[in-house]
Structure 1
Amino acid sequence: MTTQHPPAVIPDRLFDDAAAEARWRARFHAPRMSTPDWALDAPDANIYVSNASGVWEVYAWNRATGEHRRVTDRPNGTLSATTSPDGEWIWWFDDTDGDEFGSWVREPFAGGGKAERAIPDVHDGYPAGLEIGHRLVAVGVSTDDGSELFVHGDGKTSRFYAGKDDAGVAALSRDERLLAISHSEHGDSRHPAVRVLATDGFATIADKWDGEGKGLTVLEFSPVAGDPRLLLLHERRGREELLIWDAERDVEIEPRLDLPGEVSAGWYPKADALLVVHFHQGRSSLHRYDLATGELSALGTPPGRIGGAGVRDDGTIEYSWSSAAEPSVIRARTAEGTDRVLLSPPGEPAPGSEPVIDVFVEGTGGRIHALVARPHDAPEGPLPTVFTLHGGPHAADEDRFSAYRAVWLDAGFAVVEVNYRGSTGYGSAWRDAIEGRPGLTELADVAAVYDWLVENDRADPDRCVVNGASWGGYLTLLALGTQPERWAAGIASVPVADYVAAYEDEMEQLRAFDRALFGGSPEDKLAVYQECSPITYVAAVKAPMLVLAGDNDPRCPIRQIENYLERLAARDGRYEFYRYDAGHGSLVIEETVRQTAAEVHFALRAVESRR
């Protein structure tokens, strides 16, 4: 980097009112935790991740003794972890400062032992799946050369798969005879195929691919030993639905659920039912599907977002739940229907926030769903508005609690979250509509929602801000260059800024994703990459922008962001830059607070100048 870019301003406080200042910070610092995940054969051995220390780290919970223990302690935090089925070991992924490149290590669940490299003769790389059995461990590694899959057992490690295409370890049967892998040998990592192998020699038992544009997602094998049924998601009818496949007999069962939207699921412990998580229009709910009778029963969860969910041996369902107005809690619902709070992190819970309402807008590609929140007691009429665009792109905004959304409301902004084409939960055609023209397609939907809100006196057209992280950051930069008249400011965190340079530097799994999305590499489709790249439109940018980036980001690498900023500086663009020592975002709460303060402060200054 040759240019000294103007640094972001980090205010000591966002609000003059002491109560408001304390409230927004408390939401970020309030302890949170994931739904506990227990060892398959030792249900008292549980792990979860929590920010209780101020950094997201892995914790162990011994239900028999009630002891909670912090397992990891790393400067930039840890998120990826699992247990061995006997509950003796905790495995976690060890990378360098958030760069996602490293190896799996393990340490005793009970503590007292040092973390050790779990499989010494498997080289470092990006994680591509991990399945741990009693006898065997299967692990996937991705590098710039492609994907390699290994199995470790009886003290020996062998590679059973290698290829240039994206592939990963997906599921291990309960008796460890069968291993399912996901692969994209047909050339499309966004719509993967599935192969089931015999672990005693890795001969192929069966392959399944539903054809172009129809992916298969492996969920898990039956938890019952000797039961070879594999639970998957298919999209044969234009949306993700459930499929149960016995690969050895090549027998399929397709549970037909009378539910709109899309679903995922996991097995009940006896494999006689499925716990179904249903997603529709930004909200999720839980259901039980009886495999013998085909009966689907709603489990009575309130509207909002269901996080992780699982079923204990006694039929108790444990799950996380939140809504836009209410912070996340971990709940337990017994087989008899009694629902209670299972776990509360130590300390004060996060202050609540405002609900979201649904807005449906007709766009060029169909009806667009957006979630809109307004500040408490806001007057009728147009408000300064921030359009917060989600990442992914294959993700969706939901009616969930967000300290980030809440601080914008506290600052007087309405918040708009658009589930543009490319989002999940609205069918395969909606998700895949961005193929061949990513970025510009999503922004047409954002523009339609923007126009509707302005026409209906909800948003002040002179004080609209666009922001987002990752794919949302990419859309932000692209919006500033292709829709310059709409935006008073833009805030792009860890964005794609120069798509051709990003492709050169990003992790191979994302290059495979991009080839599937664009229809080829930049060498094949250079004109499309350039048309869809924010750096192409730098000269058209009018609004001030704030860009935030991590030095160790393998997904949106720093060089391509520097390319964009150099070009912006050369034309005297108005911008600020915040650079930090982490990867694709930060797991350190105080760092997140600093970045959020910089973002909101930047936007407040920008819209104030437009009064």
Structure 2
Amino acid sequence: MTQTDTEYGVARYLAVEHVDSPAFTPDGRLLFLADTSGTPQVWTADAAGAWPERLTPHEERVSVVAASPTDERFVFGMDRGSDERDQLFRYDLDTGAETPLTDDPDSIHAWGAWGPDGDRVAYAANREADARFDVYVQRVGDADSDPGDPERVHEGPGGWLGVEAFGPAGRRLALSKPHASSDVELSLLDLESGETRTLSDDEAAAYSHVQFDGDGGLYCVTDHGRDTAYVGRFDLDSGDLTPVAGDADGGDATGEPGTDAWSVDAFAYDRDTGRAVFAYNEGGYSSVAAGTLDGTEFAAADAPAVDGIAAGFAFGPDAERVAYTHTAPAEPYGVRVCEFGEREATDWTPVGTNGVPRESFRAPETVSYETFDGREIPAYWTLPAGVDPDDADEAVPAIVDIHGGPEHQRRPWFYPTKQFFLNRGYAVLEPNVRGSSGYGRAYAALDDVDNRMDSVADVAAGVEWLADRPAVDDDRVVAYGRSYGGFMVLAAITEYPDLWAAAVDFVGIADFTTFLENTGEWRRSHREAEYGSLDDDYELLKEISPLSHIDRVRCPLFVQHGANDPRVPVGEAEQVVEAVRERGVPVEKLVFDDEGHHTTSRENLIEEFERIAGFLDEHV
């Protein structure tokens, strides 16, 4: 392995703070999540760059923070052992008192929205049946009264159901029911009558960032009738959906890689002022727009200039300020704040780097490579510092890092473990193979059901591209991926076994049939829409499962999992490790008893990546 810089331990990189999820209280206090203590907790800072104050004192991760619209309180969600069974808590900023709203640790409580008067919250939970989410409304109480009991106001149809927004009069809720990542049903629930009315039609489309406008309309980000997503408005009387902003070329454009038609992927709206801000995903980077919405009319204003990725927009009181999460390839996650209508933003939560020089962080080059059917696959390509891309005399090993999802997108955010491996002399290729989001509906659907293995062929084409890079030693290429990306790793080393020197699989799917049989019941129908169903596609699912071809594995394999994983059960790791070990191929297993689908404890993360680094040092 070629060393080009001072080598820093992984603990230094993992201790670079991750700050996100800004929320303003009515008094203008800014709340956010930060993992300064080792797991995400709620913090606040009174001024830009001021020493932050930690508000929640827990060792378990906080997953969501939502400020009250009327007073100085917030609700936060927290699970146990990364099991994703969030419980909700009320926090009173004046006293620091925490009050549980829910106490059902066997159930998931998915945060929804505050009521407009700040006296109630709405959320979805699978309290009655594991496979079905229902809608609950609950009074939150105050310093002089206890919270009320949850009231089930709607029984869901089965599977996941989400609460998107509370109506301005407190009488309606907007609900979302995903049938698949690209097919969401949007409806209204009348809290007085209990009746629901479906807003979306039979055309498959995604809907997100849903907000009532207070004037008989509902704003959302959607790709209905389009290949790329835009801001649209439902007229709640007629049910008509009208594009109001961000509609690429009047809907005729495609987001296929190689074009410049981009989707809106973040949106915030202030009902009192009509002010709005949203972001386009331009090949992974953000371009922000702002202005005022009046029904279906949008009047543009200046927006913050962004040099990376912006998301999680939140308006302050009277919409005079807007906060958002910002990151860039060499810039850790933090919260920025700007005045509405201004171009310049302030780093509210500047993040240190624990003595690792910022100039040592490497930014990727955006590239593309041709795959088997002539399509161009977009990717990010990063060489370690000091490596001459044309010098074959000191060629370096390369990691092919495959994202999860599958309808997800690798973006050029700050990725501390990527910087760690670059510092250790590994080049990194991050492909957005077919099936990735961010490039339009058609591209995202290219790997569905029968076409699953085409995306694996895209990974192999990426390795062929690497072979043409003089600075890369093509005998030392590593397959690396998490979740669905873990499946892609296992598929790549079984379908193309001669390409790889080693592989690292985090919480990956080894057998689609056992995965679908054992995943959370509430997820099964949604995942079957993407992968194929146990009833109709069993033989196909078996054929494309890496476990069915595990005898082809040649390279050493590292497998990581969490015992509490509700998405990809730990049995997937157990069976692939056993099968590879029986063949005499080197395999190393790391299972954390106190983690789930994600490793959330910094202590565990340090152990995880120290062991992976040692494994790669030995085999690559």
Structure 2 length normalisation: TM-score?
Answer: 0.86
Q: Where does residue 379 of structure 2 map in the other structure?
A: 370
Match of 2:107 among 120, 125, 130: 125
Opposite residue 311 of structure 1, the aligned amino acid is F
Asked if residue 330 in structure 1 is aligned to residue 319 in structure 2, the reply is: no
**Contact 1:78/1:93, CA 8 A, preserved across alignment:** yes
Q: Could you list the runs of 5+ residues in structure 1 that have no partner in the other structure?
A: 1-13
Cα deviation digits, residues 474-525 of structure 1 (max 9, x gap)? 11111111110110000011111222222222113431222101332x2331
Cα deviation digits, residues 131-176 of structure 1 (max 9, x gap)? 2213432221135332222223595613312322432212112221
Q: Where does residue 215 of structure 1 map in the other structure?
A: 205
Q: Where does residue 11 of structure 1 map in the other structure?
A: none
**What SS does the corresponding residue of 2:183 show, helix, strand or coil?**
coil
Asked if residue 344 in structure 1 is aligned to residue 326 in structure 2, the reply is: no
Mapping of 1:525-544 within 5 angstroms?
Answer: 525-544=537-556
Opposite residue 408 of structure 2, the aligned amino acid is A
Structure 1 distance, partners of 2:343, 2:575, is 57
Moved more, 133-142 or 461-470: 133-142
Structure 2 distance, partners of 1:279, 1:114, is 38
Match of 2:414 among 382, 401, 410: 401
Structure 2 distance, partners of 1:91, 1:546, is 39
Opposite residue 562 of structure 2, the aligned amino acid is G
Cα deviation digits, residues 393-421 of structure 1 (max 9, x gap)? 22111122111111111111110000111
Asked if residue 20 in structure 1 is aligned to residue 10 in structure 2, the reply is: no
Asked if residue 496 in structure 1 is aligned to residue 498 in structure 2, the reply is: no
Asked if residue 387 in structure 1 is aligned to residue 400 in structure 2, the reply is: yes
Q: Could you list the runs of 5+ residues in structure 2 that have no partner in the other structure?
A: 141-147, 249-260
Structure 2 distance, partners of 1:36, 1:578, is 34
Match of 1:195 among 187, 191, 199: 187
Residues 130, 349 of structure 1: CA spacing in aligned structure 2 closer, same or farther, 3 A cutoff? Answer: farther
1:442 shift after superposition: 1.8
Structure 1 distance, partners of 2:74, 2:526, is 31
Asked if residue 319 in structure 1 is aligned to residue 311 in structure 2, the reply is: no
Mapping of 1:134-145 within 5 angstroms?
Answer: 134-142=118-126, 143-145=129-131
Opposite residue 27 of structure 1, the aligned amino acid is Y
**Contact 2:494/2:546, CA 8 A, preserved across alignment:** yes
Opposite residue 205 of structure 2, the aligned amino acid is G
Residues 188, 579 of structure 1: CA spacing in aligned structure 2 closer, same or farther, 3 A cutoff? Answer: closer
Opposite residue 197 of structure 1, the aligned amino acid is L
Mapping of 1:443-458 within 5 angstroms?
Answer: 443-458=456-471
Q: Where does residue 256 of structure 2 map in the other structure?
A: none
Asked if residue 359 in structure 1 is aligned to residue 375 in structure 2, the reply is: no
Structure 2 distance, partners of 1:146, 1:204, is 17
**Contact 1:439/1:475, CA 8 A, preserved across alignment:** no
1:210 shift after superposition: 4.4
Match of 1:280 among 275, 279, 282: 282
Asked if residue 243 in structure 1 is aligned to residue 232 in structure 2, the reply is: yes
Match of 1:523 among 531, 535, 560: 535
**Contact 1:387/1:466, CA 8 A, preserved across alignment:** yes
1:304 shift after superposition: 1.7
Moved more, 596-605 or 54-63: 54-63
Q: Where does residue 257 of structure 2 map in the other structure?
A: none
**What SS does the corresponding residue of 1:371 show, helix, strand or coil?**
strand
Number of residue pairs the alignment of both structures matches: 582
Mapping of 1:455-466 within 5 angstroms?
Answer: 455-466=468-479
Opposite residue 325 of structure 1, the aligned amino acid is A
Structure 2 distance, partners of 1:486, 1:519, is 28
Asked if residue 85 in structure 1 is aligned to residue 69 in structure 2, the reply is: yes
Opposite residue 194 of structure 1, the aligned amino acid is L
**Contact 1:490/1:546, CA 8 A, preserved across alignment:** yes
Residues 413, 439 of structure 1: CA spacing in aligned structure 2 closer, same or farther, 3 A cutoff? Answer: farther
**What SS does the corresponding residue of 1:236 show, helix, strand or coil?**
coil
Q: Where does residue 92 of structure 2 map in the other structure?
A: 108
Structure 2 distance, partners of 1:19, 1:362, is 36
Q: Where does residue 6 of structure 1 map in the other structure?
A: none
Structure 2 distance, partners of 1:583, 1:183, is 24
Structure 1 distance, partners of 2:202, 2:299, is 27
Moved more, 335-344 or 581-590: 335-344
RMSD over equivalenced CA pairs, Å: 2.8
Q: Where does residue 253 of structure 2 map in the other structure?
A: none
Opposite residue 321 of structure 1, the aligned amino acid is H
**Contact 1:194/1:216, CA 8 A, preserved across alignment:** no
Q: Where does residue 439 of structure 2 map in the other structure?
A: 426
1:98 shift after superposition: 0.8
Asked if residue 309 in structure 1 is aligned to residue 313 in structure 2, the reply is: yes
Residues 255, 349 of structure 1: CA spacing in aligned structure 2 closer, same or farther, 3 A cutoff? Answer: farther
Structure 1 distance, partners of 2:420, 2:105, is 43
1:189 shift after superposition: 6.0
**Contact 2:246/2:264, CA 8 A, preserved across alignment:** no
Structure 2 distance, partners of 1:431, 1:45, is 39
Identity %: 22
Mapping of 1:29-48 within 5 angstroms?
Answer: 29-39=15-25, 42-48=26-32
**Contact 1:492/1:545, CA 8 A, preserved across alignment:** yes
Asked if residue 411 in structure 1 is aligned to residue 416 in structure 2, the reply is: no
